[in-house]
Amino acid sequence: MEHIRMPKVENVKLLDRLSSRRAVVGTLYLTATHVIFVENGSETRKETWVLHSQISSIEKQAITATGCPLLIRCKNFQVIQLVIPQERDCHDVYISLIRLARPVKYEELYCFSFNPKLDKEEREQGWKLVDLNEEYSRMGVPNNYWQISDVNRDYGVCDSYPTEVYVPKSATAHIIVGSSKFRSRRRFPALSYYCKGNNASICRSSQPLSGFSARCLEDEQMLQAIRKANPGSDFIYVVDTRPKLNAMANRAAGKGYENEDNYSNIKFQFIGIENIHVMRNSLQKMLEVCELKSPSMSDFLWGLENSGWLKHIKAIMDAGIFIAKAVAEEGVSVLVHCSDGWDRTAQVCSVASLLLDPYYRTMKGFMVLIEKDWVSFGHKFNHRYGNLDGDPKEISPVIDQFIECVWQLMEQFPCAFEFNERFLIHIQHHIYSCQFGNFLCNSQKERRELKIKERTYSLWDHLWKNRADYLNPLYRSDHSQTQGTLHPQIAPCNFLYKFWSGMYNRFEKGLHPRQSVTDYLMAVKEETQQLEEELEVLQERLANLQKSQSGDNKVKSKQQDRSKQIGLYTSNNSLANTPQEYSNDLKSFPSRSPSQGDEEDSALILTQDNLKSSDPDLSANSDQESGVEDLSCRSPSGGGCLPSEDSGKDSDEAVFLAG
Amino acid sequence: MEFAELIKTPRADNVVLHRPFHPAVEGTLCLTGHHLIFSSRRQDNAEELWLLHSDIDSIEKRFVGSLGTIVIKCKDLRIIQLDIPGMEECLNIASSIEALSTLDSVTLMYPFFYRPMFEVLEDGWSSFLLEQEFELLSSVTNEWRLSCVNKEFSVCPSYPSVVIVPKCIDDEALRKVALFRHGGRFPVLSYYHKKNGMAMMRSSQPLTGTNGRRCKEDEKLINATLRSGRRGFVIDTRPLNVAQQARAKGGGFEQEVHYPQWRRIHKYIERFNILQESFIKLVEACNDQSHNMDRWLSKLEASNWLTHIKELLTAACLAAQCIDREGASVLVHGSEGTDSTLQVTSLAQIILDPRCRTIRGFEALIVREWLQAGHPFQQRCAQSAYSNSKQKWEAPVFLLFLECVWQIHRQFPCSFEFNEQFLIMLFEHAYASQFGTFLGNNENERAKLKLPQKTMSLWSWVNRPEELIRFQNPLYEANSLVIWPSVAPQSLQLWEGVFLRWNRPSRFLEEAEEERMNIIKYNKELQAKVNALRRQLAEMETDEEAQEE
């Protein structure tokens, strides 16, 4: 609290990026964890809540006649423009936020104060939801070829690896330790995914310290061991996910890549994914395009192309497709690495796993996948997502790119995933929010030292409890699309990589489809379930009635029915966001048939932003556009290109011709 | 003329058909007067492909030894390849296809020969008469009348024989106005907004010329749509400088001095060869099989197609906004009033009028605002993106309109009674069809060709219950509100259903569509069951109570 110079400022203006006419006046509060803007106005008092940990930059802009503008950009792609009347207040808010947005100790993060009112036992249960031991045994290891190694028991070999690592059975501790000494940050080859069907596997590591000529017998034996663990194949692929030039440059620093001459039976392959700095700049450029005030189609497409973002997404996807193909179709094991093996390697291994194994396309499986390839293998969440104040050059949207790859796949395979877009967006949100302990720190070792599991809550448990919100209505576990390996197309004209406005323009609801097919179908499915229940009750009643007409126990049965009936209807009544709420007549389900639609009541406008109450932080962003009437003002891309209410009467034609 | 003269080799065996995402098939190729028929009788994989010659946009042939290959590019953007053994056969077939796909007489087209295999329940030629439209209008306002001034198509050759005009303007005045407007296209009613009584009119440019000619009747006509003291908007689909240049050729625009109650807005919409080029470039980009992302995006951008979509949607939103938000009447025109004008007026109605979002309402819109309004389909849709003919009157004006509807549909997926397939079907039939609906350039030509007597209407076929079912949107929920689409670049997407239709594996998307249908269908079945049970129970209970008493 000592960092808050100014807890409350009144008469602050919150601007709407798309339309200057839609600015609202309210009060700005700074708390220990959030920036809160409360709109004046008696009826709604809309609130906008922003967690300090979401703030990526704060910009004080030149003073205008109306006050001092403050621009806050968030890591979840929200952009907030405030105008504070007094320059001094603005400065105080600015200074406070600068400090609040850059905590220096883990203890300052929200997860240490966030309390979802769960008791100790519930918290522990929550952390047990995702269990990697269970996951490896689901994959089918340990078995004849793979064993769990305790060589990293006390993080003695590699401090960014987990304590429990799966390695080929023939890899002795001597080989592992020897190999680790020949790899950057001692990240030796370890199992990421094992394909039960054909024994092929995906292993991961960092780059070898080969320089121009160095070699290491143990490392060569290690790769040999990986090959032997797949008796069906006489070679393995070694995939270096860096551009060749980068990998070659590393040789000068005593690092580099595997020399095919030194390793027997490997096929070496470069797949050019750019490094974290290129990716950071690329995102930056793309966000600039998203922020353009009223871009023309050319501005937008040119900017999108120029940012290179989709090209990078495609590169990651192509690498995943290559590996999945090697494993599933050729039955060949693959060793993947980049430089340190914690960014591109994590992206590529997890995309490949997702393509290979339908389990990772379920809600639980996806959590397991992130836990396996990202959290446990030491992806540096703290550095990449800037949770604590640190080197800005370490920040890069690595997992964001993986999440986008998943979304692109969902667009191509609409029935293949158990979860929906909202699930991905909320995971992205919480990677930055620090509301849950899952993504704190840079490694398992650090998390254990911080006693994360005793002091914070797990996001997975939270998402799992609200899983109804995250279901893809088109998913059926018995559907052909959910089975087996996914085979996406490669050429852009066959697999159209699209700009993901649901993520990068997430808070600009005016840009999104106004009716969400997903929400609509979820509502229908929910209603269907109620109908099924009611059908059962009715059939029972009918049976009873038929019995009673031949017997004499009708009074009793009737009472029984009524109680059931009431129970059912009250539950209907309490369900929000189902078509039921459009009808007052709870006795009968409103039919969806178009003929029944009468006037305004029938307008079932389901917007994507039905922010679920399940998410305290998200729901607080009450930027809920409701009626269509209200939406219209936001719809034109630039406020200037359509006449506004007042401009129509007296202003000249220039207003309409702009843009 | 006998088609047989054009067919030297009516049949070839051992032909191999190649299509993207399908294994090659061997079979027999037959040519008839109107079709190319490929049939494979292999037991495990019997299939037939029927292609209308008029659907063929261009063909290429090449030879490797005595094996000839014909690549056929269709107006619906599909590309197929046929390997035909025998050089002579191949040459014969190629030249026959070339001749048959470029017949220059309308009356030789397939619709004049097509005999439907279905029973006609409702003759589509009389399904959408302007008289019916007027009847509906009369129930809410009496400010308009039906005029038969164009009965013989003599006042305006591209207008239908009846039009709706303000009641206070007589036929004599209309004749004078027609002389003042390009091609005689005097302002007529396009849409009446029941909610506030505002009207949208459309016309062609006024013939003011360089010396600022005026026409009192024209002024009176359009002023008749204004409420006292209120202003109206003229939306000119040309940029100001083009409108000014038009004066030199006798055209022009409404000048402030003579139309003081009207504000003119220039909202540029691209036309003719620029659109056609853009279309060709886009299709080229979509057929580029390279794996390079940058190249794809830059080709997409360079085609400018999405720019045209955005501009068109913006203009339509503007027209709708003037009517619904400003409470003003609107007159829309460009030069001829047969292309961009119709795009704007019809899209504005999609936004404003829930009826246009139903299947029948949309069909009525196309009849009223495109066919009767004299969009020259025959000229515009003679060729598609693969043709080398480059005639200056070819342009994908109607396709752009359909794509804009698709864009709005994508943003309001529950507000349309029809689905994407319906729009794609209309695109196909506008370019090649067994039905006579899209033949001719206006009602005058259609009457001369006796299309209603000699050909079948597309609507007679589409509106049969068994066909309709394919075009219904399972998510439809009548939405009586005005729907305002977003025109931001982030909100607009390439229409994959048309442009990548033959280039993408469609199975997964089709499965998703099926799944959506099943979810809704199952829900409806359950509803029916529950309702039936409820009724049954209620009856039994009243019976019982009656017995008790």
- pLDDT tens digits for range A69-119: 999 999 999 999 999 999 999 999 999 999 999 999 999 999 999 988 888
Q: Give the residue on B whose Cα is nearest the Cα of A314.
A: B293
Cβ proximity of B133 and B364 under 8 Å: yes
Mean pLDDT score across all residues of chain A: 84
Q: Which of residues 385-444 of B touch A (CB under 8 A)?
A: 410-415, 417
Domain boundary among A102, A136, A171: A102
Q: Which of B503, B511, B526 sits opposite A528 (nearest CB)?
A: B526
Q: Are B519 and A473 in contact (CB < 8 Å)? A: yes
pLDDT at A548: 77
Tell me: do A87 and A218 sit in the same domain: no
Q: Which of B79, B269, B293 to mutate to test the interface with A (most CBs of A within 10 A)?
A: B293
- Domain shared by A304 and A212, yes or no: yes
Residue B372 in contact with partner chain A when CB distance is under 8 A:
no
**Are the CB atoms for A259 and A289 separated by under 8 Å?**
no
Are A212 and A137 members of one domain? yes
Indicate the pLDDT class of residue B547, thresholds 50, 70 and 90: confident
Please tell me the distance in Å from A78's CA to the nearest CA on chain B. Answer: 16
The answer to the question of residue A333 being in a domain is: yes
A339 marked as binding residue: yes
Structural domain containing residue A325: 120-482+494-510
**Residue A180 marked as a ligand binder:** no
Min Cα separation B266/chain A (Å): 7
Same domain (yes/no): A148, A41: no
Element (H, E) at A475: none
What does the H/E/C string look like for A593-653? CHHHCCHHHHCCCCCCCCCCCCCHHHHHCCCCCCCHHHHHCCCCCCHHHCCCCCHHHHCCC
A235 — contact with chain B (CB < 8 Å)?
Answer: no
Q: How far is CA A260 from CA A237, A238, A254, in A?
A: 11, 9, 17
The average pLDDT across A503-519 equals 91
- Chain B hits for A531, Cβ within 8 Å: 523, 526-527, 530
CATH fold, domain B4-103, is PH-domain like (2.30.29)
The interface residues of chain B toward chain A in range 257-276, judged by CB-CB distance below 8 A, are 263-267
Q: Is B508 an 8 Å CB contact of chain A? A: yes
* The predicted structure's pLDDT at residue B302: 95
Closest residue of chain B to A411, computed from CA coordinates: B509
* Amino acid residing at A195: C
pLDDT band at residue B419 under the 50/70/90 scheme: very high
Q: Residue A133 pLDDT more than 70?
A: yes
Listed residue (A295, A395, A290) closest to A79, CA to CA:
A290
Q: What is the CATH number of the domain that holds A40?
A: 2.30.29.30
d(CA A656, CA A653): 6
Active site residues of A: 338
Q: At A455, which amino acid appears?
A: R
Exposed, middle or buried: residue A163 (CB in 10 Å: 0-12, 13-18, 19+)? middle
Residue in chain A lying closest to B233 (CA): A648
Write out chain B residues lying below 8 Å of A415, CB-based.
508, 511-512, 515
Q: Whose CA is closest to B333, among B402, B405, B238, B255? A: B238
Nearest chain B alpha carbon to A658? B267
A552 is in an annotated binding site: no
> A325 and A218, same structural domain?
yes
Q: Are A65 and A151 members of one domain?
A: no
* B2: pLDDT strictly greater than 90: no
The whole-angstrom separation of Cα B424 and Cα B399 is: 9
Q: What is the pLDDT of residues B460-473, one digit of tens each?
A: 999 999 999 999 99
Identify the pLDDT of residue B43: 67
How sure is the predictor about A163, in pLDDT bands with cuts at 50, 70 and 90?
very high
Mutate to test the interface with B, among A412, A500, A515, A560 (most CBs of B within 10 A): A515
With contact defined as beta carbons under 8 Å apart, do B134 and B140 qualify? Answer: no
Beta strands in B41-183 (DSSP E): 47-52, 56-64, 67-74, 79-85, 144-147, 163-166
Helix B216-223 with B171-180: angle, nearest 10 deg? 110
A297 in contact with chain B, both atoms CB, cutoff 8 A? yes
Closest Cβ–Cβ partner in B300, B481, B484 for A603: B481
Q: Which residues of A touch B291 (CB under 8 A)?
A: 318, 490-492
* Selected residue with higher pLDDT from B2 and B369: B369
> Which comes out higher in pLDDT, residue B318 or A629?
B318
Query: According to the model, what pLDDT value does residue A58 have?
Result: 95
Q: Read off the pTM.
A: 0.90
Helix (H, G, I), strand (E, B) or coil at B236: strand
Same-domain pairing of A92 and A49: yes
Strand order in the sheet with A266-270: A190-194, A201-205, A334-337, A236-240, A266-270
Q: What is the CA radius of gyration of chain B?
A: 26
**pLDDT score recorded for residue B549:** 63
Task: Indicate the number of domains in chain A.
Answer: 2
pLDDT at A106: 94
Among residues A571, A546, A549, A545, the alpha carbon closest in space to that of A560 is found at: A545
Residue A380 domain-assigned (yes or no): yes
Look at residue A20 in the predicted model and tell me its pLDDT: 66
Flag the least confident range among A45-54, A127-136, A312-321: A45-54
Domain boundary among A75, A102, A129: A102
Buried (b) or exposed (e) across A337-351, using 16+ Cβ within 10 A? Answer: bbbbbbbbbbbbbbb
A130, A369 Cβ separation under 8 angstroms: no
Residue that the structure tokens 């109650």 belong to: B261
Output the pLDDT for position B1: 57
Residue B524: how many CA atoms within 13 Å on its side-chain side? 11
What would the mean pLDDT of A163-170 be, rounded to a whole number? Answer: 96
Query: What residues 514-533 of chain A have any CB closer than 8 A to a CB of chain B?
Result: 514-515, 517, 520-521, 524-525, 527-528, 531-532
Contacting residues for A459 by C-beta, under 8 A, at least 6 apart: A427, A430, A435, A436, A438, A439
Q: Return the half-sphere exposure (C-beta side, CA atoms, 13 A cut-off) of residue B116.
A: 19
With a CB cutoff of 8 Å and minimum separation 6, the contacts of B206 are: B180, B181, B182, B215, B218, B251, B252, B253, B254
Find out whether A131 is annotated in a ligand binding site.
no
Domain boundaries, chain B: 4-103, 130-504, 505-541
Q: Which residues of A500-521 are buried (b: 16+ CB within 10 A; e: fewer)?
A: bbbbbbbbbbbbbbbbbbbbbb
Structure tokens at B287: 């057929």
> Are B516 and A653 a contacting pair at CB < 8 A?
no
**Pick from A304, A413, A548: which is nearest to B297 by CB?**
A304
Distance from CA of B87 to the nearest CA of A (A): 34
Q: Is A275 annotated as a binding residue?
A: yes
What residues contact residue A621 under an 8 Å CB cut-off, 6+ apart? A47, A48, A49, A50, A78, A507, A611
Look at the block and give the residue holding tokens 């399972």. B474
Residues of B with CB below 8 A from A606's CB? 414
Best interface-test mutation with B: which of A16, A287, A294, A297 has the largest number of B CBs within 10 A? A297
Please state, for a pLDDT cut of 90, what percent of chain A lies above it.
73
Residue B374's nearest CA partner among B109, B111, B157 is: B157
Note whether A87 and A124 are same-domain residues.
Answer: no
Interface-testing mutation among B241, B281, B484, with chain A (most A C-beta atoms within 10 A): B484
Instruction: Assign 3-class secondary structure to B276-304.
Output: HHHHHHHHHHHCCCCCCHHHHHHHHHHHC
E-assigned strands of B32-139? 35-40, 47-52, 56-64, 67-74, 79-85
A16 in a labelled binding site: no
Q: Is residue A278 part of a domain?
A: yes
- Please indicate if any CB of chain B lies within 8 Å of the CB of A513: yes
**Structure-token match 């979860």, residue found:** A419
DSSP string, B195-234: TTTEEEEE---B--TTTT---HHHHHHHHTTSPTT--EEE
In angstroms and rounded to an integer, the radius of gyration of the C-alpha atoms of chain A is 28
A572 appears as a binding residue in the annotation: no
A478 part of contact set with chain B, CB < 8 Å: no
CB neighbour burial string for A102-136, b if at least 16 within 10 angstroms, e if fewer: bbeebebbbbbebeeeeeeeebeebbebbeeeebb
**Predicted confidence (pLDDT) per residue in A534-559, tens digit:** 999 999 988 888 887 776 544 444 44
- CA distance linking residue B148 with residue B131, whole number of Å: 11
Are both A275 and A356 inside the same structural domain?
yes
Q: For B29-57, how does the pLDDT look when each residue is reduced to its tens digit (9 = 90+)?
A: 999 999 999 999 876 767 899 999 999 99
Find out whether B49 and B26 touch, Cβ atoms under 8 Å: no
Q: How far is B109 from chain A, CA to nearest CA, in Å? A: 34
Beta strands in A417-572 (DSSP E): none
Residues A506 and A357 in one domain: yes
Predicted pLDDT of residue A622: 32
pLDDT at A552: 53
* Residue A601 tokens, joined: 């009541």
Q: How does the average pLDDT of chain B come out, rounded?
A: 94
Residue B293: closest CA among chain A residues belongs to which residue?
A: A311
Residue A648 assigned to a binding site: no
Q: Are residues A184 and A241 in the same domain?
A: yes
Q: Which residues contact A263 (CB under 8 A, 6 or more apart)?
A: A220, A223, A224, A238
Q: Please give the residue of chain B at the shortest CA–CA distance from A495.
A: B504
* Interface contact B287, partner A, CB < 8 A: yes
Q: Specify if A609 maps to a domain.
A: no
Q: Of A294, A298, A492, which is closest to B301 when you measure between CB atoms? A: A298
Contact A538 B537 (CB under 8 A): yes
Name the residue of chain A whose CA is nearest to B283's CA: A493
Decide: B156 and B178 in contact? Cβ < 8 Å.
Answer: yes
Which of A410, A471, A632 would best serve as a mutation to test chain B binding (most B beta carbons within 10 A)?
A632
Task: Give B235's DSSP letter.
Answer: E
A169 shares a domain with A88: no
- Of the partner residues B291, B307, B530, the one whose CB lies closest to the CB of residue A535: B530
Which residues from B are below 8 Å from A493, CB to CB?
Answer: 285-289, 296, 500, 503-504
* pLDDT above 50 for A603: no
